[in-house]
Amino acid sequence: MIQLVETLISGLTLGSIYALIALGYTMVYGIAKMLNFAHGDIIMIGAYAVIVSVATLRLPAVVAILISVAVCTLLGVTIEFLAYRPLRQSPPLTVLITAIGVSYLLQNVALLIFGSEQKSTPRMFQIPDLKLGAVTISGVALLTLGVTAVIMIALTLFINKTRMGKAMRAVSEDKEAAELMGISVNKTITVTFAIGSALAAVASIFFGATYVYIKPTTGSMPGIKAFTAAVFGGIGSVPGAMLGGILLGVLEQLSKTYISTLWSDAIVFGVLVLVLVVKPSGLLGKTVREKV
């Protein structure tokens, strides 16, 4: 029983990180209609930004976090501007290949600067663990859960209630019609990349706090899992990415604890394939029929 509760909590924590990353995939897909394959590598860059800020520049944790968010946001927006915007009218395959190229570029730049050896993330949070009876919840897990919850609520309100959020939904449905309303599609896509990348930076901070070791390829695995989570939840759907990420994390930790560490990824992906066979649009994916 204690083991189950602890597994669930660690699953929720890991799932929160996946969800934060998955939001970037799903928002960019929903609005720019492309898979930003380089999104996972933004996490890696965010983690290095923290390491450099704290270990090399000796900056306080809060400043390091802000720097990491700023670096990732700027990087995401720059990548969109330089690599993807010129391809706005190109076939999806061209864009996908470009995104894979950007991903390798980021990894290799990191390799050049930081080398191939893994670096350890500095300890940034001194939060006491929480003991509830026999169950122990780590401070970092609590922080991850709390911050993710706040971000999800804020993001949901932003998308549903604000002018910019509504414009994003309009663009995701029909770019031309949105432009006829006076909405700049380019500006909206820039904002989307900025938000997605900032969320990836937050994810990278929690990822670093939990998994500690960072190397240039660190972003790939959480990136792929978060992408899967986005598809699982219904790509393009914001609540879907949240749900998909969390379920994926819980599933992963459950299978690690109760079945096999070695097989956990295979089990997780197996379940996902099953779900997608039954519901190809994902858990919360929308299928709206158009009226003629």
The residues binding another protein (CB under 8 A) are 163, 166-167, 169-170, 173-174, 176-185, 286, 288-292
What residues contact 105, with CB distance under 8 A and at least 6 apart? 38
- List residues bridging with 135 in a β-sheet: 132
CB-wise, 108 or 160, nearer to another protein?
A: 160
CB-wise, 58 or 161, nearer to another protein?
A: 161
CB-wise, 179 or 265, nearer to another protein?
A: 179
Side chain identity, residue 58 = R
User: What is the secondary structure of 46-90 as a DSSP string?
Assistant: HHHHHHIIIIIS---HHHHHHHHHHHHHHHHHHHIIIIIGGGTTS
Q: Minimal distance in Å, beta carbon 73 to another protein?
A: 24
Lookup: tokens for 168: 């994003």
Q: Which of 181, 203, 265 is nearest to 25 (CA)?
A: 203
Q: Minimal distance in Å, beta carbon 195 to another protein?
A: 19
- Dihedrals phi, psi of 130, to nearest 5 degrees: -105, 130
CB-wise, 172 or 197, nearer to another protein?
A: 172
Q: Minimal distance in Å, beta carbon 161 to another protein?
A: 10
Q: Minimal distance in Å, beta carbon 288 to another protein?
A: 5
